[in-house]
C-alpha cells in the first residue's frame, strides 16, 4: 500500500507542478504506459521528475531514492509472488514512503509559493 500511495502522490505532484507547456507531455507519459515506459522508482522519482521540475529524488537524497526503489521491489515480491517482507524490511520501506511524501510535499510547497523548488 505504501508503494501505491507513493506512486499516486508522485504522479499528482508531477501533474500539479508541471508548467502549462509541460502538462500535456507529462499527462501523455503518465497515461500511456504502453507508449512510454516509466518505471516507478527511476522513471517517476528521477527522470520524469528531473525533466519536469528540475529535481530528482536520486540527486537530492540517494539513500532515500534507493529505499524507494527497494519499496517497489518489496511491492513486486508481494504482488507477483506472494512473498511478504519481514518486519525489519517492512518498517524500512514504510519509513521510506513517509520520507518520500515529505520530499514530494516540499516540491509542491515551493510550487504553490510560486518559486522554483530549491534543494532540501
pLDDT of 120 higher than 50: no
pLDDT value of residue 40: 87
- List, as own/partner pairs, every contact residues 28-36 make where C-beta atoms lie below 8 angstroms and the sequence separation is at least 24, other chains included: none
Contacts of 69 (CB under 8 A, 6+ apart): 41, 42
H or E element, residue 75? helix 62-81
- The pLDDT tens digits for 1-60 are 999 999 999 999 999 999 999 999 999 999 998 888 888 899 999 999 999 999 999 999
* Digit-coded pLDDT (tens) for 102-114: 999 999 886 655 5
Amino acid at each position: 500500500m505504501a508503494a501505491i500511495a507513493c506512486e499516486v502522490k508522485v504522479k499528482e505532484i508531477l501533474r500539479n507542478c508541471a508548467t502549462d507547456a509541460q502538462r500535456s507531455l507529462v499527462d501523455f507519459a503518465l497515461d500511456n504506459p504502453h507508449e512510454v515506459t516509466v518505471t516507478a522508482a527511476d522513471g517517476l522519482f528521477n527522470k520524469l521528475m528531473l525533466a519536469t521540475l528540475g529535481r530528482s529524488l536520486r540527486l537530492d537524497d540517494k539513500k532515500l531514492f534507493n529505499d524507494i526503489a527497494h519499496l517497489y521491489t518489496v511491492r513486486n515480491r508481494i504482488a507477483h509472488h506472494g512473498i511478504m517482507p519481514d518486519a525489519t524490511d517492512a518498517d524500512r520501506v514504510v519509513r521510506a514512503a513517509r520520507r518520500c511524501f515529505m520530499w514530494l510535499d516540499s516540491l509542491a510547497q515551493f510550487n504553490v509559493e510560486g518559486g522554483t523548488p530549491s534543494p532540501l
